[in-house]
Every structure is written in C-alpha cells, then in structure tokens.
Amino acid sequence: MDRLKMLEKEGLLKSRQGSRAVGKFLQNKLAVLGLMVFAVILLASVFAPLITKYDPAMIDLRSRLSPPSWQHLFGTDKLGRDVFARVLYGGRISILVGFGGALGAALVGVSLGTYAGYKGGWLDRILLRVSEIFMAFPQIILVLLLVSILGQSLWNLLVIFTITGWGSVYRMTRSQMLSIREEEYVQALKAFGLSDALIAYKHMLPNALGPIMVNLTLSTAMFILEETALSFLGLGVPLHIPTWGNILNAAQDLTILQEAWWIWVPVGIVISAFVLSINFIGDGLRDAVDPTQQG
Amino acid sequence: MLTYTLRKLLMLIPMLLVITFLIYVGLELTPGDAVSYMVGPDALANMSQEKLNELREALGLNDPFIVRYLRWLGRALRGDFGYSLTSGVPIKDIVFSRLPATLELSVAALLFSTLLGSILGMASALKKGSIMDVSLTVAGMIGVSIPQFFFALVSILIFSFKLGWLPSGGRTMPGYTTFLDRLPHLILPALVLGITMTAGVMRYSRSSMLDALSKDYIKTARSKGLPEWRVNLLHGFRVALTPVVVLVGFRLPMLIGGSVVVEQIFQWPGIGKEFVAAVRGQNLPLVMMIALFTVTAVLVASFLVDLITALLDPRIRLE
C-alpha cells in the first residue's frame, strides 16, 4: 500500500498507464505503417527546400509538359513548373489547412462542450440545437455556401472548416462529459466548493482527451480531403498557391487528363496515402485509448 | 404514436424557421441593392434619388427587417423563391429541372452501394476475424481515403479514354430517347459515387449484423436445429437489414451534397453542378436557395426516418 502511494506521488503509476496505450498502439501493424507513411510525407513537405532544388512557382517555358525524368522526378506541368517540387510545397499548405481546420473545430467544440456538458441547462440545450442546425447541412453544401459568402482565401478556409466542424466535436465532448459527470470524484470536487470551470476544464476534461484526440486525427483526414476537393473545383485555396488540390485542378483539362498523367496521378496517390495513413493512425489510437470501441 | 409525431414536428418546425431566417440574413448581406435586381439597368440609370426611394417604399424594402423576412418566407411557402441573378429564370424552375438528373444518379448509386455494402458487411460479420474480414475492413479504409474526384478522374482515364467503353461525361446525347440509351452515361458516375459510399454501408451493416447475431433468438434458432444458412439469413440478416435500410433512406437527400463533385467532373446536369456554377458565378440567391432546399430535404427525411423507426420499435417513442 505504501509502495503504491509512493509510486503515485512520483507520478509513476500514470506513466505506466500511458505506456500501455503506447504499447497497444505499437502492436497495431497498420497504425505503425500509417505513422511511418505519415512521417515521411510530413517531413518531406516540411523540409522541401532540402529535398528539391526547384522553386514550385518557377516557370520554365522551355521544358513544358515534360514527362518524368531524373531531372524532374514527376515531370513538369503546362507552365514548365516542376511537379515534384509543387507536390512537396503543396503538402505544406494542404496539411496546414487540414490540421488547422481540425484544430480550430476542436478548440471551439471542446471548450464549449466541456462546460456545457458539465453544467447542462439552457446553455447546453441551445448549443445542442445550434449544432444540430449546422449538422443538418450536407458538409460540402455548407462549406460552399460559406465560401460564396466569405470569399476565397486560405484564412477563410480555416474559418469555414472551424464553423462546419465544431458541431460534431461539441456533441462528442458533451456526451463524454455527461458520463464523466456521474463519477464520484466529481461529486467530491463539487463538495469541496471548486468552481464549475475549474472542475470541468482541469479535472474532467483530461479524462475525455482520448476520444477527442481520435476525433482530431480523423477530422484532419476529412478536412484534407475537403480542401483538395474544393481546390479541385477551383473554389478552395486561391490557385496561385500550390496545394495538393490546386495541382490536381490541372486535370480538369481533358488533354492533361489524357496525355500528361504525371501531373495528376502522383499527387492523387500522395493524397490518398497521406489520408489513409492518418485514418490508420486514428483507428489505432481509438483501439489504444478506448478498447470498448473495438469491433 | 400521435404524441411522438407531434413532438418531433414541434422540433422540426422551429429548426426550419431558424434556418430560413439565417438564409434570409445571408441574402440580405449580399452586396448590392435589391432594387437593382428588380429594375432594368436603363431605367435605373435615369432614376432620381426620390424616385428610387419611392420605389423602395413601394417594394417594401424600407420595412423593418423582420417584416421583410416574414414576407419573403410567405412567398417561399407559396413556391416563389425569387430569380437567378445571371439568367433571370425563376429559381424554383432551375431546381426542379435539375432534380430528376440528381435523383437518377443518387438512386443508382444508392442501390449499388446498399447492395454491395450490405452483402460485404454481412459476409465479413459472419466470418469475423478472418482474412476476408480484415482485408475488407482495410479496403473500406482505402475507399474512404481516396479523394472522390481522383477516383473519378482515374476511372474516366481508364474506361473512357483508354478502353473507350463508356462516355466520359454528360447525361444524354441528341437522339437518345429511352433510359436504356442513356444508361452508358449513368454507369461511370453512379459507380464512382456508389463505391465511395459503399465503405460506410459496409461498416454499418457489419456491426448491425454482429449485433443481431449475438442475440438470444439466434441461439434459440440454432438449438432448434435449423440449418446454419437459415439461421444467418432469415433470423440474422433480416433483422440486421432494417437499420441499414433506414440509414439508406436518410442518405438520399444527403447525396445532393455527396454528388456535387461527381456531377461536376462528369458534367452531369444536376443540382450539384448547378450549385458549383452558382458559387463560382457569385449567384448568391441561387446558392442560398439550393442550400435551403437541401437542408429542408435532409430534415424532412430524418423526421420520416424517426417516425419509421418509432413504428418498428415501440421502445423509442416511449423514451
């Protein structure tokens, strides 16, 4: 008993629990594979200037539409820009938009959901209705509606993803809080006279973080897909900024689609691999933090 | 059942009111004076400020916001949704002329994904943990990770350009009269849309089947000595299928959103393509109205789904 208390004091018990989740995650082969693919693509994008010597915006009209070669790994596009460099640099923006949108939605959804889920009452009821309204729209319809109101820019896209995504995070956090609220330690904290905000954010929220992290991962994947779809339609990030979707935008041209596969096939595969790796990681995380969800 | 229906209706109506209100706020925020959409440009140029004000008064544009909203709502309820900015065609006519194409595509994709998804899902539930189950799960994850439009582009490249089996876009050709003539145009977009939806249906029907198979009546059926296929099909599959069908019903209006990208790529003349064109052309009244139409369809469908599930399962309506 004393030994346990000592361990607890030093925070050792907690770290052992943490490592169990890590161990469980590492046992999942697909999750580990996902983590590796994810790391490779992420690092390649971050360190793009070290990997390619080309500037993604540099136009070289003498080597237009040249197929892949040792000089241009993925060939060049209609303006002679190096496609490999564009994929690397484009990854920076696409990943940023995907992760930023998910993070924004999580920040809004979690901070509202934590408090409203704990307190309940009119605030919770109103927020629940509001989130229902947002979720009644098919996602892409709402996104495009907001694009047409706010206009096209990188920042607007982040704001739009936050607006469209907070609802589901809110509902998930809220339901987590509702079940944690019944725990005895919360009753004890209440009896101690701690403020509501302190109980909700400091003592309850950490116990709900697992599912929130899973949600953050999976919505990053979803928003990356949405960014590429929007930019493909020419309605996402402005065309002069290279993003994965903007590179694929060139394939709307039927001759490019038919004759210059190297412009759009590799980037499509990179997007698919990256999103798939995030989904594998999210799945592994879910199994690791919440075994009841395992099917 | 009546109280349940009324309660659900009482939740549906305020929500629709709030949404129409938000849409109206969006319309009012549209840059530009509403008069300029209602009067020809020649007349507008020769008009004095007083005359303009008189006109605004006559059209009711100077009334309080809430009055303008209610008047607009009244017109919308009577089926008058205003006019498209670019073509001047009534928005109602645009929506209803595009709807059949979208419905045709959606229903085809739904049928395909439901059939394939439920069969694969049930099969992997029956052989839970087998290689087939695991690889189907992985295949499902790959399916939701590939961007829909990339999948569409690859299929166009292979089946239209390389093999030349199917047309790459459009819905019909001059001289085509019957559905069978148009069928080749439908196959590719419906397959692309359907396959991307299959993963969801598969996951859902797998867990639904697993749930059904763990019930006591399955054990009873087995202990009565029924052959395994009868147990699985008549007692498991049939029960597990109900939630899947309900899910599918709810998905139909959601598909208007899902088909936006596919319709654009295959130049399918439906609501989704019209919506993208409206967003591109900053044709806000049309954008707002299509969004309103979609949301209304989604909410009404989910209301009906609630009623059906309550009819099938009395426990729900007593909650």
A265 lies within 8 A of chain B by CB:
yes
Task: Provide the pLDDT for residue B111.
Answer: 85
Q: Which residue on chain B is closest to A126 by alpha carbon?
A: B15
CATH class of A33-62+91-293: mainly alpha
| Residue B150 shares a structural domain with residue B266 | yes
Rounded mean pLDDT of chain A? 82
pLDDT surpasses 80 at B219? no
User: Could you tell me if residue B319 is inside a domain?
Assistant: no
Contacts of A139 in chain B (CB under 8 A): 257
Lowest-pLDDT range, A134-148, B107-121, B302-316?
B302-316
pLDDT surpasses 90 at A107? yes
Total-model pTM: 0.82
Contact call for A140 and B276, based on CB within 8 A: no
Lowest-pLDDT range, A15-19, A239-243, A250-254, B74-78?
A15-19
Task: Catalogue the E-assigned strands of chain A.
Answer: none
pLDDT surpasses 70 at B177? no
| Residue B35 shares a structural domain with residue B120 | no
| Residue B72 shares a structural domain with residue B106 | no
Out of A148, A229, A234, name the one closest to residue B147 (CB): A229
Query: pLDDT digits over B126-167, tens only?
Result: 777 788 888 888 888 888 888 888 888 888 888 777 776 777
Return the top range by mean pLDDT from A102-106, A191-195, B220-224, B273-277.
Answer: A102-106
pLDDT surpasses 50 at A53? yes
Of A16, A19, A89, nearest in space to A52 by CA = A89
Confidence of residue A102 (pLDDT cuts 50, 70, 90): very high
| Residue B241 shares a structural domain with residue B138 | yes
Amino acid at B273: K
| Residue B290 shares a structural domain with residue B144 | yes
Task: Give me the count of residues in chain B.
Answer: 319
| Chain A nearest C-alpha distance from B174 (Å) | 22
> Which CATH number characterizes residue B197's domain?
1.10.3720.10
| Residue B25 shares a structural domain with residue B112 | no
Sort A61 into a burial class: Cβ within 10 Å, 0-12 / 13-18 / 19+: exposed
Query: pLDDT digits over B26-64, tens only?
Result: 777 766 555 555 555 566 666 677 777 777 676 666 677
Contacts of B157 in chain A (CB under 8 A): 257-258, 261
Contact call for A149 and B284, based on CB within 8 A: yes
Task: Provide the pLDDT for residue A100.
Answer: 93
Contact call for A272 and B146, based on CB within 8 A: yes
Contacts of B26 in chain A (CB under 8 A): 145, 149
User: Could you tell me if residue B265 is inside a domain?
Assistant: yes
User: Which residue matches tokens 């088909």?
Assistant: B259
Task: Provide the pLDDT for residue A2.
Answer: 67
Q: Which residue on chain B is closest to A272 by alpha carbon?
A: B146
SS3 label, residue A132: helix
Out of A136, A229, A279, name the one closest to residue B298 (CB): A136
Contact call for B260 and A264, based on CB within 8 A: no
Contact call for B15 and A136, based on CB within 8 A: yes
CB contacts < 8 A, A to B, total 122
A178 lies within 8 A of chain B by CB:
no
List of residues 6+ apart from A38 with CB closer than 8 A:
A274, A277, A278, A281
Query: pLDDT digits over A25-46, tens only?
Result: 777 778 888 888 888 888 888 8
Out of A133, A138, A283, name the one closest to residue B294 (CB): A138
Contacts of A272 in chain B (CB under 8 A): 142, 145-147, 150
Task: Provide the pLDDT for residue A257.
Answer: 73
Of B313, B316, B317, nearest in space to B2 by CA = B317
What CA–CA distances, in Å, run from B90 to A74, A204, A288, B20, B294? Answer: 48, 54, 55, 19, 17
- Phi and psi angles of residue B271, each rounded to the nearest 5 degrees, phi first: -65, -35
Amino acid at A285: L
| Residue B200 shares a structural domain with residue B294 | yes
A260 lies within 8 A of chain B by CB:
no
ipTM: 0.79
Distance (Å, whole) CA B185 – CA B82: 33
For chain A, the domains span 33-62+91-293
Contact call for B145 and A276, based on CB within 8 A: yes
| Chain B nearest C-alpha distance from A130 (Å) | 9
pLDDT surpasses 60 at A294? no
**Between these two residues, A293 and A163, which has the higher pLDDT value?**
A163
Q: Which residue on chain B is closest to A267 by alpha carbon?
A: B150
Contact call for A272 and B257, based on CB within 8 A: no
Residue B167 half-sphere exposure, CB side, CA atoms within 13 Å?
14
| Residue B220 shares a structural domain with residue B195 | yes
List of residues 6+ apart from B207 with CB closer than 8 A:
A295, B125
Contact call for A271 and B147, based on CB within 8 A: yes
A230 lies within 8 A of chain B by CB:
no
Residue B293 half-sphere exposure, CB side, CA atoms within 13 Å?
23
Distance (Å, whole) CA A263 – CA A82: 9
Contacts of B156 in chain A (CB under 8 A): 257
Amino acid at A56: P
Task: Provide the pLDDT for residue A295.
Answer: 46
Rounded mean pLDDT of chain B? 77
Contacts of B150 in chain A (CB under 8 A): 228, 248, 264, 268, 271-272
**Between these two residues, B192 and B91, which has the higher pLDDT value?**
B192
Residue B189 half-sphere exposure, CB side, CA atoms within 13 Å?
34
What's the structural domain count of chain B? 2
User: Could you tell me if residue B2 is inside a domain?
Assistant: no
Cβ(B191)–Cβ(B152) below 8 Å: no
Query: pLDDT digits over B110-127, tens only?
Result: 888 888 888 888 888 877
For the beta carbon of residue B80, count every other beta carbon within 10 angstroms: 13
Over residues A260-273, mean pLDDT: 86
| Residue B150 shares a structural domain with residue B198 | yes
User: Could you tell me if residue B85 is inside a domain?
Assistant: no
| Residue B224 shares a structural domain with residue B96 | yes
Out of A133, A229, A283, name the one closest to residue B261 (CB): A229
Contacts of A137 in chain B (CB under 8 A): 257, 291, 294-295, 298
Contact call for B257 and A137, based on CB within 8 A: yes
| Residue B161 shares a structural domain with residue B269 | yes
Out of A140, A147, A275, name the one closest to residue B145 (CB): A275
| Chain B nearest C-alpha distance from A68 (Å) | 19
User: Could you tell me if residue B44 is inside a domain?
Assistant: yes
Contact call for A144 and B260, based on CB within 8 A: yes
| Residue B66 shares a structural domain with residue B149 | no
Task: Provide the pLDDT for residue A104.
Answer: 94
pLDDT surpasses 80 at A188? yes
Domain of residue B35 covers 20-77
User: Could you tell me if residue B15 is inside a domain?
Assistant: no
